[in-house]
Structure 1
């Protein structure tokens, strides 16, 4: 797929998402692309709709539930239920993917959220999980090329809403990838890279100010 085609696509199938996770989807990428997690942590089978309107937009996706999904085998023995954190991670994954669809290059990172509510559960004999995310705003810091997006996410199982995540934040940042794993190198240790600290602080303060917080 050509990069310009990627930027204008409004839906993606499982093959596309797997290729993006492995770094093979875009033939002429302008730089290092953020990646979705590979299975088993890839939490969607298809992106069904992308709508970009200025600094706002929407992205929706679905995941087919399989009775032998890996998490049902361990969470919990005698009481299988999908861990709630995996549904939340799906929202962060999709917000990062939305940033890539808006031209961001670099590595994706989850940045937090304001609140989470669980009012249901996902069991082995359910059928489809649907994620709906309203992107409230996104912004690029031109001096570093970092991009961050904030959105409100909802998770449905068989059309019943089970999770709500407010002001979920994720970003794409340059020059932080640990591409030579497992060799010990500059990016082999975690923590906040010093050269990104002021950028993150600036972006998050801007969003809080716009929210009146």
Structure 2
């Protein structure tokens, strides 16, 4: 475990630290509604190797180790295993959400879209490392609503070759929408359109 002030100063995270963040036990004194990453198997990042903040801009770089037995190769597709492209897009959203948390945002992270996705290659079972490089062009912490938004462009590389580009991927952090009492029915147990007026 680490203190929240140490979390805000970090420039990298190990696999164990990312897993702890997904479980909600990385930070000993988290702010109210501290952000979480998805838990495995949806956690698409094994480590963060670079995290830079410069006012409203920054950069975050994560890596994912590829294994012959990864869950998505078992079902997508039988006889033609390939990592789904949508998981690469989700990895970029996960990194942008982590960037927002490391820049001081709290609340539940939600992907809000992207402008353009272009695929030029694929990830196969005998590849080794996927690298996700995200340049944050805007981070805004909205004090009045408690919301935050981060926008960045991501590149996905497999063993050093750029295979996807995700332009202007956007993630919002929203307070008051978490559903910690799942599976019980409660105030936040149903979905639908979110109020994005504060963004």
Mapped partners of 1:152, 1:172: distance in 2? 18
TM-score by length of 2: 0.98
Gaps (5+ residues) in structure 1? 204-213
The answer to whether 1:14 aligns with 2:4 is no
The answer to whether 1:38 aligns with 2:43 is no
Once the two structures are TM-superposed, the CA of residue 140 in structure 1 deviates from its matched residue by: 1.5
Matched with 1:68 is 69
Matched with 2:197 is 198
TM-score by length of 1: 0.92
Secondary structure (helix, strand or coil) at the match of 2:189 reads coil
Secondary structure (helix, strand or coil) at the match of 1:117 reads strand
User: Deviation above 6 Å: which 4+ runs of structure 1?
Assistant: none
What are the Cα deviations for residues 35-70 of structure 1, in whole angstroms up to 9, with x where unaligned? 100000000100000000010000001000000000
Q: How is 1:1-213 mapped onto 2 (pairs within 5 angstroms)?
A: 1-193=2-194, 196-199=195-198, 203=199
Task: Indicate how the Cα distance of structure 1 residues 42 and 26 shifts in structure 2: closer, same or farther if over 3 A, else same.
Answer: same
Mapped partners of 1:8, 1:57: distance in 2? 13
Query: How many residue pairs align between the two structures?
Result: 198
CA RMSD of aligned residues (A): 0.7
Gaps (5+ residues) in structure 2? none
Mapped partners of 2:184, 2:50: distance in 1? 39
